[in-house]
Amino acid sequence: MTGRARALLTIGLAAAAFALSSCGVGGGLSPIFPDPVSPNGKGIYDTYVGISVVAIIVFLGVEFALLWVVLRYRRSSQSVGYVPPQVHGHTGLEIAWTAAPLVIVLAIAAYSFVELQKDFQPISNQQMTVIVSGHQFGWQYDYDNGVVVHQEGSITTAVTPFVVPTHTLVKLQFRGTDVIHSWWVPAISGKTDAVPGYDNFSWLKIDQVGTWRGECAELCGAGHASMQIIVQAMDRSDYDAWVNQQKAASASPSASPK
Amino acid sequence: MATTVLPRPKAYDDTFFKPISLWLTTTDHKLIGIMYMVTSIISFVIGGIFALIIRLQLSQPNLKIIDAETYNQVVTAHGVTMIFFFVTIFVTGIANYMVPIMIGARDMAFPRVNLLGFWLIPVSIILYYCGFLTGHAMNAGWTGYAPLTEQAYQNHSLGVDFWAMSIIVWAISGIMASTNFLTTIIALRAPGMRFSRLPLFVWAQISTSILLLIVGAPLAAAMILLEFDRQLGTQFFTTAGRPVLYQHLFWFFGHPEVYVMILPAFGIISEIVPVFARKPIFGYMSMVAAMFGIVFLSMTVWAHHMFTVGINTYVEGFFMLMTMLIAVPTGIKFFNWIATAWWGSIEFTVPMKFVFGFLATFLIGGITGIYLASVPVDTQLHQSYYVVAHLHYVLFGGSVFGILAGIYYWFPKITGRLLNRRLGEWNFWTVFVGFNGTFLIMHTLGLEGMPRRIYTYANPAWGATNLIITISSFLIAFSILLFLINVVRSWNHGEVAGSDPWQGNTLEWATTSPPPPYNFERVPPVRSFMPLRDLRESGELVEEEPALSPV
């Protein structure tokens, strides 16, 4: 096989791998996050798409430039006795490819900063607050109406869901009680660390009924993989029934989880 | 009457097998460089075995090849070994060998400090692995976040202590080496070797040394405070203390460390591209400026590893901006490399293939770095397999491809013999395919929610992807095996290289292969940053007697 044929074959393989990785959506080969169900997750999703537009152009442009160099300027493609021009630089070009990346990254930084200000500020207009405490190995959710959900870690069985009402702005207040944990449900939003010593914040607002999975994202010991998270969103009436059921269960000592 | 050829000094026959007393006591920068490199390659193999264990465990959902505690120890050992004992040590070793020769010096400025600095590395490695003898090796990841490393969560085991001690020794060694490099380059340059004529690999070593000199101390400080917590009951990073302070100290070292590992690779690329394209480097001054831009910026970005701990959004915005700005000097270097090759007459030798492998893959690592720098997007990608893929594109596709390019390029200088080209081609193509097969689709796992450092997962949708990754990772292992066979075989049986097999530009090709203990009988005159090419073109170059006879 000639060098050029081999180069083309490799490029073909790489393209096939890339195509494969972008079409098998959701089956372990998704090129983007799960469909967001909370506005802050949607904001992150859109930022990712926006960056991707620029990133794909830069990626393709530079890779094709490399490919062109490989195919066009290899010695076997040059005429016999070709002596390359002994160029030491070009001020204009060097300024151009300093300025171009600068403009691109400033634009991406500004675009990201707008999203950062929009969805990552501590909120005060919440309709309910839940204190989420991470511990080795599980999560505890303390609702402001007194309900407590213990989501003890398990890798094989489904864990107790953290239930929220739909159409409600829920403030999440994170606390670490031993080591650092990180609460992450990709379909809702990014992750927030539960660090000992201070409260960390996030929020969610889900407008559809459903169940979403996540897990702890910060190595926290041998049970790290078992710190699964299930978030379940219920209609207001179902949610109220669930709250009453929880209150009744905790009122009778035998049904108490601890 | 034939002239008498003086026997070469015993230390510099071409064989690897020299008296152990010589290896233990030599202050020759070349032998110390070889010891650094051999040590690091052994670490590479060990770290690679850890990686294969990790990949076997993750190849299917709900596997129990190793348990969670063992997995955490293995994942930590993989990271510690590859970062501290392989890549950083290799780039120190190759610079130890090449920098004095490239600037026309006879040795490093402080030869005995050099020897001590090297021998601290095996001490550091052995200290770390002592943790495994206790049965409770370090298990909190290579970053060792407190308070997980504190006594309360470690059952009073010694693994973390061995790790912390090991890192302290390692940091001291790095500070010694950096001081030595800077002094050597400032004080021992040959006549005519002005700063504006230094090879770019030497400039890379200056910038790397400055970085390690500045950030080595905070790393040691973090480890010392952690040991105070563990042994003296202080409360710096405990649950009752300030765990995030540990992260600040660690990443003030940890992010520049990425550049400690990649800047020498940049230097290697900058040496190789002009030689095989037969063109001078494009934009020498902007290449140097870009490196110092990276040095400065890399010390202002550490908190981008901490975007989920809850920092004021304006501060996060600052770190996001500084992180993204690193794309500017890196972009300058990238475009200058492409411009150097443009209009060239490129000979695709094995080192040049690795250079283009580097360019094609490091680009992906750079672009995913922009996503990770964006605070909102990072809160999704942080601590997921997307980050694992990104960092391997930077460290493997970047540093390791650069290191392999450097080995194929300089092996003939170090041993006097060329590496086998056919094996080298196989090495390149298998590692290129295996690497991309392993890490390209790994991004998607992170996007779908697979956190890093979990010992297993229940989601069946991730099984097929993980299996492809595991199979590809074994292709990398096969490729590295080919590489090792090539190195061992070629060391004594390779084709004799002569002093300048590639028609190089820099001074190391002016002396014999391997060079004599004193490096040069007469240091050639230096009139530009391509002194050897000047001599070749002016007809002043005298071909040295080959140091080795053909097999």
Cβ–Cβ gap B376/A93 under 8 Å: no
B11 touches chain A (CB under 8 A): no
Considering the domain boundaries, does residue B13 fall inside one? no
Q: Which of residues 329-348 of B touch A (CB under 8 A)?
A: 331-332, 334-336, 338-339, 341-348
Cβ–Cβ gap A87/B242 under 8 Å: no
Cβ–Cβ gap A10/B370 under 8 Å: no
Instruction: Give me the helix-helix angle, A91-119 and B313-325, nearest 10°.
Output: 160
User: pLDDT at position B11, please?
Assistant: 46
User: pLDDT at position A15, please?
Assistant: 56
How far is B261 from B359, CA to CA, in rounded Å? 16
Provide CB contacts within 8 A for B7, sequence distance 6+.
Answer: none
Structure tokens at B139: 């298990």
Cβ–Cβ gap B458/A14 under 8 Å: no
Residues comprising chain A, all counted: 258
Cβ–Cβ gap A44/B335 under 8 Å: no
Considering the domain boundaries, does residue A28 fall inside one? no
How far is B225 from B243, CA to CA, in rounded Å? 12
Looking at chain B, the whole-number percentage of residues with pLDDT higher than 70 is 95
Cβ–Cβ gap B374/A108 under 8 Å: yes
Helices (H) and strands (E) in chain B, counts: 19, 0
Please answer whether residues B310 and A122 qualify as being in contact, where contact means their C-beta atoms are separated by less than 8 angstroms.
no
Cα B446 to chain centroid distance, Å, stands at 25
Q: What is the ipTM of this complex?
A: 0.91
Considering the domain boundaries, does residue B550 fall inside one? no
pTM: 0.93
Considering the domain boundaries, does residue B123 fall inside one? yes
How far is B452 from B497, CA to CA, in rounded Å? 45
Domain tally, chain B: 1
Structure tokens at A168: 């409600």
How is residue B112 annotated by DSSP?
A: H
CATH of the domain at B202: 1.20.210.10
Distance from CA of A105 to the nearest CA of B (A): 6
Q: Which of residues 139-158 of B touch A (CB under 8 A)?
A: 139-141, 145, 147-148, 152-153
pLDDT (tens digit, 9 = 90+) per residue, A121-171?
999 999 999 999 999 999 999 999 999 999 999 887 789 999 999 999 999
B195 touches chain A (CB under 8 A): no
How is residue A20 annotated by DSSP?
A: H
How far is B494 from B478, CA to CA, in rounded Å? 21
Cα B157 to chain centroid distance, Å, stands at 31
User: pLDDT at position B155, please?
Assistant: 81
Cβ–Cβ gap B147/A78 under 8 Å: no
Q: Are residues A172 and A232 in the same domain?
A: yes
- The string of DSSP letters for B40-58 reads HHHHHHHHHHHHHHHHHHH
How far is A217 from B307, CA to CA, in rounded Å? 13
Q: Are residues A139 and A241 in the same domain?
A: yes
pLDDT (tens digit, 9 = 90+) per residue, A92-120?
999 999 999 999 999 999 999 999 999 99
Considering the domain boundaries, does residue A71 fall inside one? yes
For the cut 70, the answer to whether the pLDDT of residue A228 exceeds it is yes
Domain tally, chain A: 2
Cα B314 to chain centroid distance, Å, stands at 34
Considering the domain boundaries, does residue B165 fall inside one? yes
Q: What is the mean pLDDT of residues A30-54?
A: 95
Considering the domain boundaries, does residue B5 fall inside one? no
Which residue range forms the structural domain that includes residue A109? Answer: 34-75+90-121
How far is A56 from A60, CA to CA, in rounded Å? 6
Considering the domain boundaries, does residue A257 fall inside one? no
Considering the domain boundaries, does residue B551 fall inside one? no
Please answer whether residues B226 and B166 qualify as being in contact, where contact means their C-beta atoms are separated by less than 8 angstroms.
no
Interface test with A, best of B306, B308, B314 (most A CBs within 10 A): B308
Please answer whether residues A167 and A204 qualify as being in contact, where contact means their C-beta atoms are separated by less than 8 angstroms.
no
User: pLDDT at position B15, please?
Assistant: 60
Please answer whether residues A13 and B432 qualify as being in contact, where contact means their C-beta atoms are separated by less than 8 angstroms.
no
For residue A104, the chain B residues in CB contact (below 8 A) are 327
Nearest CB to A44: which of B284, B317, B379? B379
Distance from CA of B268 to the nearest CA of A (A): 18
pLDDT (tens digit, 9 = 90+) per residue, B476-505?
999 999 999 999 999 989 999 989 999 999
Biggest distance spanned by C-alpha atoms of chain A: 93
Q: Which of residues 69-128 of B touch A (CB under 8 A)?
A: 69, 72
Q: Are residues A38 and A103 in the same domain?
A: yes
For residue A51, the chain B residues in CB contact (below 8 A) are 370-371, 374, 377
Q: Are residues A117 and A133 in the same domain?
A: no
How far is A112 from A48, CA to CA, in rounded Å? 9
For the cut 70, the answer to whether the pLDDT of residue A31 exceeds it is yes
Q: Are residues A235 and A147 in the same domain?
A: yes
Closest of A132, A139, A180 to residue B147, by C-alpha: A180
CATH of the domain at A175: 2.60.40.420
Considering the domain boundaries, does residue B47 fall inside one? yes
Cβ–Cβ gap A44/B453 under 8 Å: no
Cβ–Cβ gap A197/B243 under 8 Å: yes
Q: Which residues pair with A150 in a beta bridge?
A: A140
Q: Are residues A176 and A203 in the same domain?
A: yes
- Average pLDDT, 10 consecutive residues per value, chain B (551 residues): 51 64 89 96 98 97 94 97 97 97 96 96 97 93 95 90 97 97 97 96 97 95 96 94 95 96 97 96 96 96 96 96 97 97 96 97 96 97 97 96 98 95 97 97 95 94 95 97 96 91 94 90 91 88 58 45
Please answer whether residues B133 and B225 qualify as being in contact, where contact means their C-beta atoms are separated by less than 8 angstroms.
no
Q: Are residues A170 and A201 in the same domain?
A: yes
Considering the domain boundaries, does residue A16 fall inside one? no
Distance from CA of A203 to the nearest CA of B (A): 13
For residue A50, the chain B residues in CB contact (below 8 A) are none
Which residue range forms the structural domain that includes residue B229? Answer: 24-538
Q: How confident is the model at residue A19 (pLDDT cuts 50, 70, 90)?
A: low
AA letter at B286:
S
User: pLDDT at position B547, please?
Assistant: 53
Considering the domain boundaries, does residue A64 fall inside one? yes
pLDDT (tens digit, 9 = 90+) per residue, A45-84?
999 999 999 999 999 999 999 999 999 999 999 888 899 9
Nearest CB to A190: which of B367, B379, B458? B379
Considering the domain boundaries, does residue B4 fall inside one? no
Q: Are residues A132 and A223 in the same domain?
A: yes
- Cα end-to-end span (Å), chain B: 25
CATH of the domain at A60: 1.10.287.90
Structure tokens at B153: 């969560």
